[in-house]
A and B are shown apart, each in its own frame.
Chain A
């Protein structure tokens, strides 16, 4: 082989090869130019974008949930606290999509928990789609045995983590449940004002104090900024902002009194239900007369805050709380409006006295039925009665006459003074307002109704006009035209007559309405807390205190953040009227009064004032003249009253026989009179007897 030869040096081949090598050199140059330009674009022009990408993909903000504030009763008994629990979480980024079903299958096998299904886990993941790098909570509060079992099988369950976190804990179960409220994962609140610092997966108060003091209780979540590697394992902590626990609340509530109230409410309800099976619900409120502080409050059916504690409700629970009648979630003490029955009579009385058409000594004779239409019957034939006697006997004739003399305007004015036409303003969410048929209310309500009626009739008139105008224009002869015009006129007249008739019946306040209102029937509707607050205002001699439940708020460092200042307002009713009415109510608790039995057991010298009520709500589920709500309002002691009480037992049938029994237990406990040692069954027997005669006893 002699490829290399001296001739190569001068050959044409060599020249050609050199040309090709130069060409090749340009090709190589081109390759490097492309690479360098691309590098320049990436590293110099786009640096910021890629740097941000690099930082954002390696930085994680891990929120550290703040421990929620505790809630104490007035003596410092812990009503709501936190306990550490184990949560089963899924680290989504540790998994690939296709692994999830495998991991969940493994979980189902280990746990044997019917709630944990592939779908349930996928729902949880979907719900947290925007924050997948945070652990997804699959199940809160798993028992320790399960934790151990899971830890043993760790290697089979990639991405599954056990986290400890503080869980809301209600040591007394359902006690005070409606007042305390419950916490549940945040949903629609996240978009609402004030919730900017809340994150997905946070638990927020949904009802009760938990809701109304959410921003105090929540605390401030802490954050740890960590860099993570490609597998999302934390590498180092960049910064750390520790969490600050929530503020603690001290309530006005009295744990021991609450226990007494709830126990007795339940036993009375059970006893009533033996005779009247519809009796399943009710509510009661105990207020501090001198401050408006809520001492105890119950609503039935009972609500257990722990049922909502993070985990979804079972169908059975959802039915119990939301769907059944009566639904348990509802706090009947502040959300339910009840026809007050005779518990409204002190308002009627005060209105009559204020009108100047009645004095406490004026005697009115009851002959068994009122002498004006619709001749509403009384509970008995009471004869000649003054104010005090009429209150003691709860005479319907007397108070219808009182209402007539006062006029609805004055009744509305007095009711307004006792705040019966507005929410009390208690610091609990979802409070309802009553319905006081004052003149103001009539103007608004009747205006609304006449608008509806006028609109309806006007539309019919317009339709009639259109129809007839076209008929008349098509009419061939003058006589046809005349006949049609006449027909139109008569039809218009019929409609106008109907308008007058409807306006007359629906938008005019009648005397009979005043009579009904006077005895607490008709349009009247109030919440139990409204009744309690109004009772307290009478007891205090005319000072209306806005009810409240949170007395003090402490910062986590123990310093006082907030101290409730009593909001009081003098009721604008002349003092002698208030005194006379308070006195009239005390006669109700004396022998011969309808509330005597409730006060009979109290130590001498305590006494008090009260009013029973039996209301015909005329609502769905109530048969007329057969189903009655039992109501009871009272205060004690008679001199220098301390507590006010209001109670309703739905379908309780009589006020003294149902709600009065609850009042009795509360009063006896509060004034340190040992309650009866009689067994519960005997008590119930006695109660049933009394209930049997309930209707014949005047109320």
Chain B
């Protein structure tokens, strides 16, 4: 027993955890100036709350190493059903916040099922795809995987939570890629799907086709293409985000010195638009450092995946990497104007405790694969 704990502690990938800690700390620094106005208005110390959740997350990561996750594979069916039930319950008992019915209230607790659902999906998908052992070459072999992932995706879309739905799509494609899915078939599906969606929106705008998007979602797409279409309303965030990032310059305005940040030109700057604050106050150099940390973290994850004792572990990590890469691409992309605006937070940096804990658990899974990389140890 003693030796088992020792081995676990020895096997933990501290490089990964150091990257994670650095990213979290960078997040606290940015959050401090991003949340000044909101902190005063709502009387909440965002940094403290976020730090507490971060500490709890590290604790969780360590606790999670007690069991080899690959021994829990038979929980997959239960988890899959639980996940879908959770997402289904949102449709009936969900509480609205910011336009989507994402929240569920359990007594005093309030959480977004979408966050644990991402983790559960990764786990279930990894098990499902590992069982295929790389046999994902024909349409017939790919179809079950799409059905398996498509059910929770449909439930999320029904909320409607377009942002999380896109995260599910990213997880699905990323894991299929790692699992050895036919490259050209996946490319065809991805490219074709993207093309079809663009054509559909084009048809809606020009010929009035029916489109299952709400007005605000459509407007976000319109102003993504032309921010000046409505600069004071829908285009506001797009324009202000770029002004805020761009005015940071090479070195930034300095911590707490961002005029755009301080004057409240960006809504949700402590959550969705936190990267803009980083850009304004710490400049290109600050952004570069944070992006390099993320990049290092992700490459480290992929390295661990390569050392996995089984396909399940490798897929589990590639799912986590998909989750994070998509969040980063979408969140940073929206701040710099190369992605339309969606309510997707920047992992480990945006304020939001459900998301932070979910991401920490995801990191725990990655660490777990590394800890149990040798099948003969235990």
Contact = CB atoms under 8 A, between A and B. Distances in A.
B249 A43 contact: yes
A444 interface: no
A504 B323 CA distance: 105
A231 B314 CA distance: 50
Interface stretch (B6-14, B15-23, B89-97, B304-312): B304-312
A292 B177 CA distance: 101
A79 B311 CA distance: 97
B314 A17 contact: yes
Contacts of B264: 229-231
A9 B310 CA distance: 8
A20 interface: yes
Contacts of B310: 3-5, 8
Residues of B contacting A: mostly: helix
A228 B262 CA distance: 10
A39 B288 contact: yes
Contacts of B45: none
A482 to B, nearest CB: 83
A523 interface: no
A227 interface: yes
Contact of A21 (B262, B314, B332, B333): B314
Interface in A31-51: 31-32, 34-36, 38-40, 42-44, 46-47, 49-51
B96 to A, nearest CB: 24
B178 A8 contact: no
B122 to A, nearest CB: 14
A312 interface: no
A627 B338 CA distance: 85
A55 B249 CA distance: 14
B238 to A, nearest CB: 13
A57 B284 contact: no
Contacts of B279: 39, 42-43
A46 B299 contact: no
Contact of B265 (A46, A50, A230): A230
Contact of A24 (B74, B291, B294, B321): B321
A49 B375 contact: no
B1 interface: no
A379 B296 CA distance: 117
Contacts of B318: 21, 24
Contact of A43 (B179, B245, B298, B313): B245
Contacts of A31: 325, 328-329
A192 interface: no
A54 B245 contact: no
Interface string B115-154: 0000000000000001101100000000000000000000
A24 B328 contact: no
B134 A42 contact: no
A48 B287 CA distance: 18
Contact of B245 (A24, A39, A227, A235): A39
A475 interface: no
B70 interface: yes
Interface string B72-102: 0110000000000000000000000000000
Contacts of B179: 17, 20
B295 interface: yes
A53 B178 contact: no
B263 A58 contact: yes
Contacts of A46: 246
Contacts of B131: 3
B178 A21 contact: yes
A226 to B, nearest CB: 11
A55 B309 CA distance: 56
A53 B243 contact: yes
B183 to A, nearest CB: 8
A358 B295 CA distance: 115
B342 interface: no
B246 A58 contact: no
B336 A21 contact: no
A53 B306 CA distance: 47
Contacts of B174: 24
B259 interface: yes
A16 B294 CA distance: 26
A352 to B, nearest CB: 80
A681 interface: no
Contacts, number: 158
A419 to B, nearest CB: 62
Interface residues of A, number: 48
Nearest to B236: A230
B359 interface: no
Contact of A229 (B263, B332, B336): B263
Contact of B246 (A18, A49, A96): A49
Interface in B173-206: 174, 177-180
B178 A3 contact: no
A618 interface: no
Given A1-B73, A3-B130, A35-B333, A24 B177 contact: yes
B244 interface: yes
A437 B133 CA distance: 117
Interface string A38-77: 1110111011011101110110000000000000000000
A25 B232 CA distance: 40
B221 to A, nearest CB: 19
Interface in A645-679: none
A680 interface: no
Given A29-B295, A50-B242, A230-B263, A18 B249 contact: no
A419 B295 CA distance: 92
A6 B279 CA distance: 48
Contact of B299 (A8, A23, A25, A53): A25
A42 B298 CA distance: 25
A13 interface: yes
Nearest to A12: B134
Contacts of A148: none
A20 B265 contact: no
A21 B305 contact: yes
Given A13-B311, A229-B265, A50 B284 contact: no
A123 B369 CA distance: 70
Contacts of B294: 32
A57 B288 contact: no
Interface in B268-317: 279, 283-284, 287-288, 291, 294-295, 298-299, 302, 305-306, 309-314
A3 B74 CA distance: 12
A21 B302 contact: yes
Interface in A229-265: 229-231, 235
B244 A54 contact: yes
29 contacts: A3-B310, A3-B311, A4-B70, A5-B375, A6-B376, A8-B309, A13-B134, A17-B134, A17-B314, A18-B306, A20-B178, A20-B179, A28-B295, A28-B298, A31-B328, A38-B333, A39-B245, A39-B287, A39-B332, A43-B246, A47-B247, A50-B243, A50-B246, A50-B247, A51-B246, A51-B247, A51-B249, A53-B246, A54-B243
8 A-B pairs with least C-beta separation:
A50-B246, A4-B310, A229-B263, A43-B284, A54-B247, A47-B249, A51-B247, A42-B246
Interface of A: 1, 3-6, 8-9, 13-14, 16-18, 20-21, 23-25, 27-29, 31-32, 34-36, 38-40, 42-44, 46-47, 49-51, 53-55, 57-58, 96, 227-231, 235
Given A38-B337, A42-B337, A50-B247, 8 more contacts: A3-B131, A6-B376, A8-B375, A13-B133, A28-B295, A35-B328, A42-B246, A50-B246
